[in-house]
Amino acid sequence: MKATLAPSSLISLPRHKVSSLRSPSLLLQSQRPSSALMTTTTAASRGSVAVTAAATSSVEALREGIAEFYNETSGLWEEIWGDHMHHGFYDPDSSVQLSDSGHREAQIRMIEESLRFAGVTEEEKKIKRVVDVGCGIGGSSRYIASKFGAECIGITLSPVQAKRANDLATAQSLSHKVSFQVADALEQPFEDGIFDLVWSMESGEHMPDKAKFVKELVRVAAPGGRIIIVTWCHRNLSQGEEALQPWEQNLLDRICKTFYLPAWCSTSDYVDLLQSLSLQDIKCADWSENVAPFWPAVIRTALTWKGLVSLLRSGMKSIKGALTMPLMIEGYKKGVIKFGIITCQKPL
Ligand code: SAH
């Protein structure tokens, strides 16, 4: 894999932002950085473009970890939660106890709300080609392809997911419209400027280089195309604040280890990146309140007899994942974790 430094041409931001873009928070994994990794990032923050072998191999280790994680856990998720591997969208403060199908509807609603927020629903005839970046087992792709009659290509790091996504497309007679492959979001196997909609639903949090991630999304978008990023973020830093509080970072680090996440960034970091690339109609929102019922529901399901048996059968990664879920709830409650949507349009 090539070096993962953010190209300096991408960045025309205030000084403290530039350093944060080149620091581990947007660049490298935070899974307890080794001292070699620390050396690399310190060098990077001094402006050096040298990336050590340790940093490169740590990015590769992250990719492998993500692939193995989803290879192992996707079957269990599908069995219990169906083909959407993302939060549901709920009315804030809704106290109604939903059934399983209610939660699945909330996951579909997440897709609909995201499209609506980005203004895509009014332009649906223009959506002919879609890329689903970090596609899971293809739930979004099949939904969007059916809704718009569009062609959709999904990419994931997990071969198990790509195969399952293709099998489901065949089973649903959609294989002429949608297809899935193993590919890296940071080096997408696509030409420039070909997708009317670039969709990333809960995959951005896995990307070790947010600047490169965004640059790739923009590269493959067609002129006038829409980009939608729905992702886990940390809270925006206040004016003058350089980093999260140590206890906040500690909480996120514990989540990172289990879910194979690199360092997090904020929604305003994404907005800054998009602005630096002169994207248009940049919008973002904090949907943390709208997703609040989700993790408690996943935990309740995991604690049923069926859930527990499936968890045990699925293996250690799933079990560790289940044990980490309460940390997600804590992160939202304490305002450290934010569920963000960021959208924009590529200029014509
Ligand atoms: N968007 C899907 C799945 C979300 S799970 C859904 O909503 O159902 C996160 C997905 O991101 C997984 O499929 C994982 O393989 C993918 N992913 C993480 N890092 C990636 C990368 N660098 N390149 C491609 N896919 C990646």
Query: Which residue CA neighbors atom 11 of ligand 1 most closely?
Result: 134
Contact 256 CB / ligand 1 (< 6 Å): no
pTM value is 0.85
Residue ranges per structural domain of the chain: 72-346
Strand 178-182 versus strand 195-201 pairing type: unpaired
Position 125 scores a pLDDT of: 72
Q: Note the pLDDT tens digit of each residue in 30-80.
A: 333 332 222 223 333 333 334 566 677 899 999 999 999 999 999 988 988
142 lines ligand 1 (CB under 6 A): no
Q: Whose CA is nearest to atom 19 of ligand 1?
A: 206
Q: How many CA atoms lie within 13 A of 63 on its CB side?
A: 17
pLDDT in tens, 207-234: 999 999 999 999 999 999 999 999 999 9
Question: What pLDDT score does 124 carry?
Answer: 67
Q: Determine whether the shortest distance from the Cβ of 202 to ligand 1 is under 6 A.
A: yes
Structure tokens at 6: 């953010």
- Token pair 């959609």 is found at 174
Q: How far away, in angstroms, is 4 Cα from ligand 1 center?
A: 19
Predicted local distance difference test score (pLDDT) of residue 200? 98
Cβ of residue 261 lying under 6 Å from some atom of ligand 1: no
Residue 22's pLDDT is what? Answer: 31
Mean pLDDT of the chain, nearest integer: 84
CATH T-level assignment (fold) for domain 72-346: Rossmann fold (3.40.50)
Helix, strand, coil % over all residues of the chain, rounded to 5? 50, 15, 35
Q: Is 307 in the pocket of ligand 1 (CB under 6 A)?
A: no
Q: Are 155 and 131 in contact (CB under 8 A)?
A: yes
Give the number of the atom of ligand 1 that is nearest the alpha carbon of residue 85. 8
Q: Which atom of ligand 1 is nearest to the CA of 132?
A: 1
> What are 89-104's pLDDT values in tens digits?
999 877 666 677 788 8
Measured from the Cα of 84, ligand 1's closest atom is: 8
Distance from the CA of 203 to the center of ligand 1, in angstroms? 5
201 touches ligand 1 (CB under 6 Å):
yes
Q: Is 106 in the pocket of ligand 1 (CB under 6 A)?
A: no
CA of 46 to the centre of ligand 1 (A): 32
Pocket of ligand 1 contains residue 84 by CB under 6 Å: yes
- Helix (H) or strand (E) segment spanning residue 345: strand 337-345
Q: Distance between CA 319 and CA 309 in Å, rounded?
A: 11
- Report whether residue 156 contacts ligand 1, using a CB cutoff of 6 Å: yes
Q: How far is the CA of 97 from the centre of ligand 1 (A)?
A: 29
Write out the two tokens for 68. 């193995």
Percent of the chain surpassing pLDDT 70: 82
At 36, list the tokens. 């070699």
Does 158 contact ligand 1 (Cβ within 6 A)?
yes
Q: Which residue has the tokens 């923009």?
A: 218
State the CB neighbour count (10 A cutoff) for residue 211.
25
Residue 71 Cα, ligand 1 centroid: separation in angstroms? 11
Could you give the count of Cα atoms lying within 13 Å of 157 in the half-sphere of its Cβ? 22
Pick the residue whose CA is nearest to atom 13 on ligand 1. Answer: 136
- Cβ–Cβ under 8 Å, residues 347 and 279: yes
